[in-house]
Amino acid sequence: MRQVRVAKFRRASLAIATLALLTLGASSGYTETTVEVIHYFNVEGQVQALADIQKDFEKANPDIKIKYTYVPFGELVSRTLQMAAVHKAPAIAAIDNPDVLRVAKSNILEDISQEVNKLPIWSDIYPGPKKAVTADGKAYGVPIGSNSLALYYNKKMLSEAGVEPPKTWQQLSDVATKTTKSPVYGIAFSAVNTEESTWQWEPFLWSNGGSLVDLTSSNAVAALQLWVDWVSKGLASKDALNWEQGDVASQFTGGRAATMVMGPWMLDAVKKSGVDFGIVPIPVPKEGAKPVVPLGGECWCVLKTNSQVEAAAMKFISFTEEPERLRKLCDTFNYISSVKNIAKQQGESNPQLVPFVEQMDTAKARSEDGGAKYPEISLATRTAIQRAVSGQAPADQALKESAAKINSILSKN
């Protein structure tokens, strides 16, 4: 009975679709291509920027129509997969860079190596973002922009405590200790049970030479111990286990934290809050070491549809990656551009962005640790983070258990 109903629907919609196609084909002189772009940008400024790009692009390319489809942040990957599974894939998906390789593994992304080499900016892209979209010599996406993490600090609180903005871990702990005074905590960061906590921990792990695929190393243990000590000594709130980065920022702007680990996307909000703040690069374990921060930011990925749609999609992507337009896009989206030239320009016009720009040279793509398996590895990692920070297990034991899980993930095919 159910099959009859579904079959009836299929027949009906097939008939309607055929009719529609015929009439469309008959009425227009040429076939118009619709490029559907699926994304999760919903901040006012971003939406406007996207609309402007759409207008300019359609004017320059009258035979292509752009259609934006918004999905909530956590749903993008699963929605893209579902749409591909029912053969209604969008033309372009703006995928968060650590997910690109995983989605590529499902075979729904087109290999665009040839096309991207024709892009003028391609050769000027930082090594980090490029690694996030390439595997086995093939390119599966084009970075739109990047961001990372640095240390915001409350100028007033630090000067009152008589400390300078920290450069090393020791100095950071020192600053945190001296600025912690109820109800203010010295430092705020996110250790929540989502990707955000792995992301926030990575600067400390990687700057100390550790890696997610070897969590038992002493570098990793030391990096986690840093966080554990902050919480156990009362320099950071235990609620960090529940804070998403938005909550961390609220703590800082509300005057409840003297420093916070945060990225450039919060600049406007923090400026608006009236707090007198400064930004320094992520403190490093020892003097002179280089900070290694994780890369955020989305990439345009082309899905396998048909040659006409894919060609139109590449046209759109190249359009957005034209230097001037890209610069404007990155500024509106609060990205640091993945293109060296443009990033340097951004740093020159806005000194507050300089720490982020400097860090781009050594920034690392998250999927470098584990490739398509990164999301699973991240899940195991944050379990260790949560267990250690909440005091359920000592850092080295928590990491050992997660490392075992990660090894089994890596050995699966």
User: Per CB under 8 A, which of residues 170..189 are in contact with other proteins?
Assistant: 183-184
Q: Which of residues 92-131 bind other proteins (CB under 8 A)?
A: 102-103, 105-108
Give me the 3-22 binding string for other proteins, x by CB under 8 A, dash otherwise.
--xx--xx--x--x------
CB of 30 to other proteins, least distance (A): 26
Vertex 343, ends 342 and 349: CA angle to 5°? Answer: 90
The crossing angle, in degrees rounded to 10, of helices 323-333 and 340-349 is: 50
Q: Using CB under 8 A, which of 42, 114, 123, 341 touches other proteins?
A: 42
Site for other proteins in 357-376 (CB under 8 A): 372, 375-376
Residue from 146, 253, 332, 381 that binds other proteins (CB under 8 A)? 253
What tokens were used for 187?
A: 């430092």
Q: Of the two residues 31 and 78, which places its CB atom closer to other proteins in the complex?
A: 78
According to DSSP H, which parts of 136-217 are helical?
155-161, 169-179, 195-207
**Out of 208, 237, 332, 381, the residue judged to bind other proteins by CB under 8 A:** 237
Taking a C-beta distance cutoff of 8 angstroms, is the pair 138, 113 a contact? yes
Kindly tell me which residue out of 139, 142, 158, 240 binds other proteins, with binding defined by CB under 8 A.
240
Q: How far is the CB of 242 from other proteins (least distance, A)?
A: 5
- The span from the CA of 127 to the CA of 119, in Å, is 16
| Helical residues (DSSP H) of 40-120, grouped into ranges | 44-60, 76-85, 97-105, 113-117
Q: Could you give the 3-state DSSP secondary structure of residue 331?
A: helix
Residue in the block written with tokens 């075992």: 404
In the set 209, 216, 265, 328, which binds other proteins (CB under 8 A)?
265
- Element containing residue 301 per DSSP (H, E): strand 298-302
Cβ-based nearer residue to other proteins, 262 or 326: 262
The widest CA-to-CA distance across the chain, in whole angstroms, is 78
Tell me: does residue 242 bind other proteins (CB under 8 A). yes
Among residues 247, 257, 227, the alpha carbon closest in space to that of 381 is found at 227
Q: How far is the CB of 383 from other proteins (least distance, A)?
A: 6
Task: Give, as ranges, the residues between 326 and 345 that touch other proteins (CB under 8 A).
Answer: none
Query: Does 256 help bind other proteins (rule: CB under 8 A)?
Result: yes
Tell me 107's DSSP state.
T
Q: Which is nearer to other proteins, 167 or 366 (CB)?
A: 366
- Which tokens hold the place of 214? 């070897």
69 binds other proteins (CB under 8 A): yes
Using the rule CB under 8 A, is 82 a contact of other proteins? yes
Site for other proteins in 192-211 (CB under 8 A): 192-194
Q: Which two tokens stand for residue 360?
A: 């781009």
